[in-house]
Chain A
Amino acid sequence: MTRVVRTRVEFEGSVSEELALVQDDDAAPWAEGEALGIVGHPHRRIEGVAKVTGRARYTHDLRFPGMLHARMLRSPYARARVRRVDPSRALALPGVRRVLHRFNAPKAAFRGEETIFREEVRFVGDEVAAVCAETEEIANEALGLISVDYEVLPHVVDLEEAIDDASPRIDDKGNVHEADTYSRGDAKRALREADAVVEATYRTPTQMHNSLETHGAVAVWDGDQLTVHESTQHVFGVRQGLQAALRIPLSRIRVVCDHMGGGFGSKGGVGKYTIVAAIFARELGTPVRCVLDRHEENLAAGNRSATVQKVRIAAKDGRMSAIAHEAWSNAGQARWVADPTGPTKTLYDVPNVLARSHRVLANTGSLAAFRAPGYVEGTFALESAIDELADRIGADPLALRRQHAAADRDAASGLRYSLKRLVDCYDIGAKEIGWPRRKPKGLRGSAPGLRRGLGMASQIWSGGGTPPAYATVHINPDGTAVVRIGTQDIGTGTRTIVAQVCAEALGIDVGDVRVEIGDTDSPYAPISAGSLTVASIAPAIRLAALDARAQLLDVASGVLEVGKGELRVERGHVVSAGARTPIADILKDLQNYTVIGKGSRLPNPEDLVLKTFGAHFAEVEVDPATGRVVVERIVAVHDIGRVVNPLTARSQVEGGVIQAIGYALSEERSVDRATGRVLNADLEDYKVPTVKDVPRIVVRFVDVPDTAANSTGAKGLGEPPIIPTAAAIANAVANALGVRIRTLPLTPGRVLEAARA
């Protein structure tokens, strides 16, 4: 029966009420301790062979007959008015087919604006024009032949300069926009009446995603039907964006993403490159590819906002009594901001909280969601401040947190958590790292002069998933199955989990499941972001497989002339008392009869809050003479409900930790204030971690299914491992040095400066 229900949806820290279409009654959850044969067991990635042989086709790799290449001309100025564009010399170059710019491009809505080529360009790298040519090389050469008359305008690129009233205002309403305010209790009073107060300002850098596959799309028209191949985390989101830009019916747009080379949040929807490719392809009647190069990727494809955060935190009678947290984030030109105060509101049970967040405009590339947007930045400030408070009152930082970590209710909503095992994470992690070794003034290092420190931090994130999500499961006449669901595998192992859940519920082997994902012609699934994939899609896949199984048993009952209740499916066989019949044998006399099961994702429970929790512990060695920080060990413990694939889950945690080590120690976009140019828009000067920067990483899971959350008991894991790592490292460095560094990354220069102070 189909019905519509109202449901609460949480995505990356913001909660909304939405309508959901529900078609099923849910299955009973897999219980804690229930013996599952496939889910919960390590399984190799099912696309492994394609990826290790080079056969896996990514958007970058697609070539079509007659395909043309589009490239963007980008503003060399941080802020300027485009007065005139003269493409005549570019058009005279043999092989150039067309140039689009603001005076000739069709209207195309993009993120609330009417055009993709603005009159006022607002950062170095903003799109000014696009060239379409027979080769990428010709297109690149043509970019240099387009004459643009710019009226250069005053700009501001630095977050703290943009906040300053004396700086150029780049928006009529000013540069600083209040984004969110939250309050519970009476923080001001609690701060006044406290035994101890720490007040500190923390700064975090702009981090750049640097997915190895840059943003890009290939557009192919067949009559009035558009197919776009795009490296994306959300095929349906790209379709929506194309519909808005091109104003053609959704039914004429298909978006496909097979293998994709990383997104980390930045590939959440349509890009200007997608729209340009689609317009050129339509006008020129042939496929068009538009793929960013590495430098463009680091100018115009998004970033994690730099922040300035002021935290005041108070203790009374040995407990945290109040937190006031105010944050300013450099959003570039974006109309949203990733609020850093999320963890402050919900991670700890503290009675008095005041949180305020501001979006600051600047003439830099806009933010895009970056793996736990806001939470990574905010957790660094919050967890640093808690350690400073613990130092001030002479408490062990873990013991102080423990007093506020056990609450079984969400302090913001008052609702009960479906499951919370944060204290278990503390117990497991403290034992693994050897927390009792920690001394308030740090430890001696492995050589004279070196200092050693231990630190930890906690994480809270959503991860409970959301409707809508739908799946179909076909059983082929040979007993194999095909799952179709419009999700994406962005490197997280989604394909394998889809196969595992289907195989488990249907009763066949993983190797007998083919997974069809990344296509808007499939049933809808949400964006692969916000750690919501598994908890959104797994219950729908399970229901689809159960539906297919029930139909298969109907068929088997007729063929075998045995009551349906006496039959079950096991490892590709229909099993009755005393007989095991291969599924293929059941179906063989029915020719091409196809069993088609369908399933949908039911709403989350209304009266519960679904979260993931975790704690990371870091051991570091610091050389006060050189400023070098060596992370020796990270212990990462997570409470994410049931772990579906322990093999890929471990990888996911290690990867999150490693990205966070970059954030903690080396990654920082550098922008020249005078010109607004990004000085390290490449992989030479922007330092992402290499294999040599990786410590020993110990990964542990509480691994208790969250049976109240959904029928699979699984929650998300994409974001949690990046959230607490930088804070844990910063706390360990402060422990080692006896001096607090409040600005990330902890470069040798900053460490030296602190060590000398």
Chain B
Amino acid sequence: MPPATRWKGPSPVDVSFEVNGHRRTVHVPPHRTLLDALREDLGLMGAKKVCDEGTCGACTVIVDGRPVYSCMTLAVATEGRSVETVEGLARDGSLHAVQDAFIAHDAFQCGFCTPGQIMSVVALLRATPSPGADDVRRAVSGNLCRCGAYPRIVEAALAAAKRAK
């Protein structure tokens, strides 16, 4: 029987990236996901770990303007890049238009998928300021919601787009 061996890989490295506008450095092993770096190293608990294998979207954050599954992104791959999480959306005590619309249109129930849904919608509205309902559906089609808030999510996204104009 082989002896117990702990995984021996490259040593932890420093990774520096911008998180919600602030430069942050974490010291992580190269296989650490961005999701774990955010949650465990930076204490940002908004992005959720639901599947940890790229199938649900609850960990969605925005990297350099694009929505990504942070469980499928290595922390080291974000070196020098800009990461936005749900915690960074509200400014000066005011909610982002998408956050506001999610509340007004009741676009969540348990709320566990909500940070991911919101980040997908925020990324959509930046790229497509006047989306149609199908654009919204495509944008959040990788974000599962088991409570079934989907009709409200679509409605909230469209309302937020309208308001932002």
Q: What chain A residues lie within 8 Å of B49 (beta carbons)? A: 60
B141 within 8 Å of A by Cβ? yes
Contact assessment for A659 and B146 in the assembled complex, using a CB-CB cutoff below 8 Å: yes
The one of B6, B111, B141, B144 that contacts A93, using a Cβ cutoff of 8 Å: B6
Q: Mark A37-56, 1 if CB is under 8 A from B, else 0.
A: 00000001101110111111
For B90, what are the chain A residues with a Cβ–Cβ distance below 8 Å?
53
The residues of B that contact A672 with a CB separation of less than 8 Å are none
A211: interface (CB < 8 Å): yes
For the complex, count residues of B whose C-beta is within 8 A of A. 57
CA–CA, A306 and B91, complex, Å: 49
Cβ distance A148 to chain B, nearest Cβ, rounded Å: 13
User: Is A153 positioned at the interface, with any CB of B under 8 Å from its CB?
Assistant: no
Q: Does B127 contact A (CB under 8 A)?
A: no
State whether A212 touches B146 (Cβ < 8 A).
yes
Tell me if A15 counts as interface (CB < 8 A to partner B): no
Q: Which residues of chain A come closer than 8 Å to B50, judged between CB atoms?
A: 212-214, 294, 683
| 15 A-B interface contacts by CB (under 8 A) | A47-B111, A48-B102, A53-B86, A89-B4, A92-B4, A294-B51, A491-B108, A491-B110, A491-B147, A648-B106, A655-B109, A684-B53, A689-B150, A691-B143, A691-B150
Which 4 residue pairs are nearest across A and B when measured between Cβ atoms?
A54-B46, A491-B110, A261-B112, A658-B148
Give every chain A residue within 8 A of B45 (Cβ-Cβ): 54, 57-58, 60-61
A698 to chain B, nearest CB (A): 11
B112 to A58, Cβ gap below 8 A? yes
Instruction: Enumerate chain A residues within 8 angstroms of B153, measured Cβ to Cβ.
Output: 691
State the Cβ distance, A723 to closest chain B Cβ, in Å. 15
Q: Is B102 a contact partner of A52 (Cβ separation < 8 A)?
A: yes
A90 to B44, CA, bound (A): 31
Q: Does B27 sit within 8 A of A, measured CB to CB?
A: no
- How far does the Cβ of B112 sit from chain A's closest Cβ, in whole Å? 3
- In the docked arrangement, what's the CA distance between A94 and B4, Å? 9
Q: Is B89 an interface residue (CB 8 A)?
A: yes
Size class of the A contact interface (CB-based, 8 Å): 35 or more
Q: Are A688 and B95 in contact (CB under 8 A)?
A: no
Of B39, B52, B99, B141, which contacts A691 at CB under 8 A? B141
Contact status of A651 and B137, CB under 8 A, knowing A48-B103, A141-B7: no
Tell whether, in the assembled complex, residue A262 and residue B144 are in contact, meaning their CB atoms are under 8 Å apart. Answer: no
> Would B55 and A145 count as touching, CB distance under 8 A?
no
Answer whether residue B37 sits at the interface, using C-beta atoms and an 8 A cutoff.
Answer: no
Whether the pair A683, B95 counts as a contact (CB closer than 8 A) is: no
> Cα distance A94–B7 when bound, in Å?
11
How far apart are A133's CB and chain B's nearest CB, in angstroms? 11
B112 adjacent to A212 (CB under 8 Å): yes
Partner of A294, one of B52, B103, B109, B115: B52
Do B89 and A53 touch (CB < 8 A)? yes
Q: A95–B85 Cα gap in the complex (Å)?
A: 31
Question: A656 at interface (Cβ–Cβ under 8 A)?
Answer: yes
A694 at the interface (CB under 8 A from B): yes
Q: Does B34 contact A (CB under 8 A)?
A: no
Q: CB-CB < 8 A to A556: which residues of B? A: none
Q: Does B56 make an interface contact (CB < 8 A)?
A: yes
* Separation of A138 and B43 alpha carbons in the complex (Å): 20
CB pair A54–B148 under 8 Å, yes or no, is no
Q: How far is the CA of A51 from the CA of B86 in the complex (A)?
A: 10
B91-136 with Cβ < 8 A to chain A: 95, 99-100, 102-104, 106, 108-115, 118
CA distance A717 to B103 in the complex (A): 21
A212 lies within 8 A of B106 (CB): no
What chain A residues lie within 8 Å of B112 (beta carbons)?
58, 211-213, 261-262
Task: Mark contacts of B47-90 with chain A using CB atoms, 8 A cut-off: 1 yes-contact digit, 0 otherwise.
Answer: 11111110110100000000000000000000000000111011
**What's the nearest-Cβ distance from chain A to residue B12, in Å?**
13
| Docked complex Cα distance between A58 and B46 (Å) | 10
A194 at the interface (CB under 8 A from B): no
Select from chain B the residue with minimum beta-carbon distance to A135: B40
A195 is an interface residue with CB less than 8 A from chain B: no
CB contacts (< 8 Å) of A51 on chain B: these are 108, 111, 114
Evaluate whether A682 and B51 lie within 8 angstroms (CB atoms) in the complex, with A44-B104, A52-B99, A52-B114 already known.
yes
For A212, A689, A692, the residue with the greatest tally of chain B CB atoms inside 10 Å of its CB is: A212
Interface centre among B58, B112, B114, B145 (most CB of A within 10 A): B112
User: How distant is A208 from chain B, measured CB to nearest CB, in Å?
Assistant: 10
Please give 5 more A-B residue pairs, beta carbons under 8 A apart, in addition to A213-B110, A213-B112: A53-B87, A93-B6, A211-B146, A261-B111, A294-B53
Q: Which of B48, B53, B141 contacts A213 (CB 8 A)?
A: B48
With contact pairs A259-B111, A492-B109 given, residues A682 and B141 touching in the complex (Cβ less than 8 Å):
no
A window 679-700: CB within 8 A of B: 682-684, 688-692, 694, 697
How far apart are B142's CB and chain A's nearest CB, in angstroms? Answer: 8
Smallest CB–CB gap between B71 and chain A, Å? 11
Contacts of A214 in B (CB 8 A): 50
Interface centre among B48, B95, B148, B150 (most CB of A within 10 A): B148
**A184-239 with Cβ < 8 A to chain B:** 209-214
User: Is A651 in contact with B86, judged by CB distance below 8 angstroms?
Assistant: no
Docked pose: A58 CA to B49 CA in angstroms = 11
* A654 CB within 8 Å of chain B: yes
Nearest CB of chain B from residue A608's CB, rounded to whole Å: 31
Q: What does the 1/0 interface line of A135-154 toward B look like (CB < 8 Å)? A: 00010010001010000000
Chain A residues with CB under 8 A of B110: 211-213, 259-262, 490-491
Counting CB contacts under 8 A, is A264 at the interface? yes
Which residues of chain A come closer than 8 Å to B43, judged between CB atoms? 63
A657 in the interface (beta carbon within 8 A) = yes
Chain A positions 279-299 with a Cβ under 8 Å from a chain B Cβ: 293-294
How far does the Cβ of B74 sit from chain A's closest Cβ, in whole Å?
15
Which residue of chain A has the shortest Cβ distance to B116 in the bound complex? A212
Residues of chain A within 8 A (CB-CB) of B154 are: 691
On whether the beta carbons of B118 and A210 are closer than 8 Å, the reply is: no
Asked if A52 and B109 sit within 8 Å, CB to CB, the answer is no
Q: Does B159 contact A (CB under 8 A)?
A: no
- The reply to whether A650 and B56 form a contact with Cβ atoms under 8 Å apart is no
Judge whether A170 is part of the interface by a CB distance below 8 angstroms: no
> Which residues of chain A in 632-660 are interfacial with respect to chain B, using CB atoms and an 8 Å cutoff?
647-648, 650-652, 654-659
| Cβ contacts under 8 Å, B109 to chain A | 262, 491-493, 651-652, 655
Closest Cβ–Cβ distance, residue B43 to chain A (whole Å): 8
Cβ–Cβ < 8 Å partners of A655 in chain B: 109, 147-149
**Interchain CB contact under 8 A, B140 and A52:** no
A629 to B164, CA, bound (A): 37
Taking the nearest CB of chain A, how far is it from the CB of B122, in angstroms? 11
Q: How far is the CA of A654 from the CA of B105 in the complex (A)?
A: 13
Interface readout for A708-736 with B: 1 if CB under 8 Å, 0 if not? 00000000000000000000000000000
Q: What's the minimum C-beta distance from A273 to chain B, rounded to whole angstroms?
A: 16
Report yes or no: A56 in contact with B144, Cβ–Cβ below 8 A: no
* Interface flags, A488-500, vs B, CB<8A=1, else 0: 0011110000000
CA distance A63 to B45 in the complex (A): 10
Could you tell me if A53 and B95 are in contact, using CB atoms closer than 8 angstroms? yes
A491 to B108, CA, bound (A): 8
Given A212-B50, A213-B50, A658-B150: A53 and B99 interface contact (C-beta under 8 Å): yes
The answer for the CA separation of A56 and B114 in the assembled complex, in Å, is 11
Contact B147 A293 (CB under 8 A): no
A654 near B56 with CB under 8 A, answer: no
Contacts of A141 in B (CB 8 A): 6-7
Q: CA separation between A650 and B145, bound complex, in Å? A: 16
Nearest CB of B to A58, in Å? 7
Closest partner residue, chain A, to B7 (CB atom) = A141
B111 near A491 (CB under 8 angstroms)?
yes
